[in-house]
A = this chain, B = another copy of it.
Amino acid sequence: MHGSEILLDLFVIFVAAQIGAGVARMLRLPGVVGEIAVGCAIGPSVLGWIAPSEPLEVLAEIGVVLLLFSVGLETRVDEMKRVGRSAFLVGVLGVIVPFALGSLWAHGSGFDWDKSLFVAAAFVATSAGITARVLQELGVLQRQESRVILGAAVIDDILAMLLLGIVTALQAGESVQIGKLVVIVAEAVGFVLVIGFFGTHIARRWSQRLASLKLCSSLALALALCLGLAFASTQFGLAAIIGAFLAGMVASEIPQRDELEHQTQPLLALMTPFFFVLTGAKIELAQLASTDALLALAVITAIALVSKLVGGFLGALALGRRGALIVGVGMMPRGEVGVVIASLGLATGVFSPRTYALIVAMSLLTSIVTPPLLALLLQPRQTSPQ
């Protein structure tokens, strides 16, 4: 009578996330690992208590958007500028190396070259959500490595979009329209720069005056900005989380910044579990129930991890070896972006269901492997609960 099934889903997911995160922390792992693992356990693959549905996907999307918004809140644009060079290099090399290795592997496993490029595109895009959560949990968002990772994630997303445009055109047998691609990328870059620089500038200059009008609370204004830019960035071909991150950076320039950070915490507590539990629930264990599949998965996951690690490491060498290693590891998770590209490949018939399952499993596996490694590198002994 009152939509009780969905309430049960919400309850189960929320409680499972708390238990998963609690157990993970007892094992000195980041809480997010527990949330993903518990998602796999209660998902269709194992217990089948929950199944991804449209409302849950929306809650998950809101969760990761809020997460990146709060990460943006802890990031100042001036500090981002300082790591601009490293972030750019990490972003570019972190795309080129996985793309190159990915196409070689795909071609080696029998794909045509144009299909291989498509497969390789799924190796490319870093998903900032997982890493951002780990960095936030460890309280190290202010470190230089964290800024490089976040900046690189933005550049990475722009390049991934460019790449996807090219390989989709190649795959469909169309000629690549360089002019059109240049316009698309210019628009995306323009969007990021305009929001990142002018947006923060405007926030600094006008926020006092806007606040004095008392039209609505600064939280309401910030949330509107977050939702608005998250949507706007999808219109420029970028992930919603990029817009949310930029919105957070803009909001971090206003005087009520600390209050906003404080107010965002309960929102994250309620909404982010849906993202991570659903990420875990999407792992289809059945597809991987053969030595053959597991072997293939091991190979592509290794390629995905190593290629991104190498690209990120080389790009961030200016931070020293350990810093470069942290950045490389931080760039490893593919998360939902790889899944989206794989779905596209399945829908257009480029991938077989098995390749699809492999790519999805690889994307999710990179998300599970990264947090403990990152925690190990950043803080050998993590004891505090959250």
Residues of A within 8 A of B (CB): 1-4, 6-8, 10-11, 14-15, 18, 21-22, 54-55, 57-59, 61-62, 65, 214-217, 219-220, 223-224, 227-228, 230-231, 234-235, 237, 239-240, 263-267, 269-270, 340, 385-386
What are 13 residue pairs bridging A and B, where the CB atoms are less than 8 Å apart in the complex?
A1-B340, A2-B239, A3-B57, A3-B234, A7-B234, A14-B220, A15-B228, A18-B215, A217-B269, A219-B269, A263-B266, A266-B267, A267-B267
Query: Nearest Cβ distance between residue A368 and chain B, in whole angstroms?
Result: 21
Q: Known: A55-B54, A55-B55, A269-B220. Contact between A4 and B215, CB under 8 A? A: no
Closest to A7 in B: B231
By CB atoms of chain B within 10 A, which of A14, A59, A219, A227 has the most? A227
Query: A386 touching B217 by the CB < 8 A rule?
Result: yes
Q: Which B residues are CB-close (under 8 A) to A266?
A: 219, 263-264, 266-267
Query: Nearest Cβ distance between residue A122 and chain B, in whole angstroms?
Result: 14
Query: Nearest Cβ distance between residue A236 and chain B, in whole angstroms?
Result: 10
Q: Known: A58-B59, A240-B3, A340-B2. Contact between A214 and B385, CB under 8 A? A: yes
Query: B270 touching A223 by the CB < 8 A rule?
Result: yes
Query: B224 touching A15 by the CB < 8 A rule?
Result: yes
Closest to A23 in B: B215
Q: Which B residues are CB-close (under 8 A) to A263?
A: 265-266, 269
Query: Nearest Cβ distance between residue A162 and chain B, in whole angstroms?
Result: 14
Q: Known: A2-B240, A217-B269, A240-B2. Contact between A7 and B227, CB under 8 A? A: yes
Query: A3 touching B58 by the CB < 8 A rule?
Result: yes
Query: Nearest Cβ distance between residue A51 and chain B, in whole angstroms?
Result: 14
The list of the 4 closest CB pairs from A to B, nearest first, reads A4-B234, A55-B58, A7-B231, A11-B227
A220 and B15 CA atoms in complex are apart in Å by 8
Closest to A221 in B: B18
Query: Nearest Cβ distance between residue A307 and chain B, in whole angstroms?
Result: 23
Query: A2 touching B216 by the CB < 8 A rule?
Result: no
Query: A4 touching B240 by the CB < 8 A rule?
Result: yes
Q: Known: A55-B58, A264-B266. Contact between A224 and B18, CB under 8 A? A: yes
Query: Nearest Cβ distance between residue A219 and chain B, in whole angstroms?
Result: 5
A220 and B271 CA atoms in complex are apart in Å by 11
Query: A235 touching B4 by the CB < 8 A rule?
Result: yes
A10 and B8 CA atoms in complex are apart in Å by 23
Closest to A229 in B: B11
Q: Which B residues are CB-close (under 8 A) to A8?
A: 231
Q: Which B residues are CB-close (under 8 A) to A265?
A: 263
Q: Which B residues are CB-close (under 8 A) to A267?
A: 266-267, 270
Query: A62 touching B10 by the CB < 8 A rule?
Result: yes
Query: Nearest Cβ distance between residue A167 and chain B, in whole angstroms?
Result: 15
Q: Which B residues are CB-close (under 8 A) to A14?
A: 220, 223-224, 227
Q: Which B residues are CB-close (under 8 A) to A219?
A: 266, 269
Given contacts A8-B231, A22-B216, A219-B266, 20 further A-B contacts (CB under 8 A): A2-B234, A2-B240, A3-B61, A6-B61, A7-B227, A11-B227, A11-B228, A11-B231, A14-B223, A14-B224, A15-B227, A18-B215, A54-B55, A55-B55, A55-B58, A263-B266, A264-B266, A266-B267, A267-B267, A267-B270
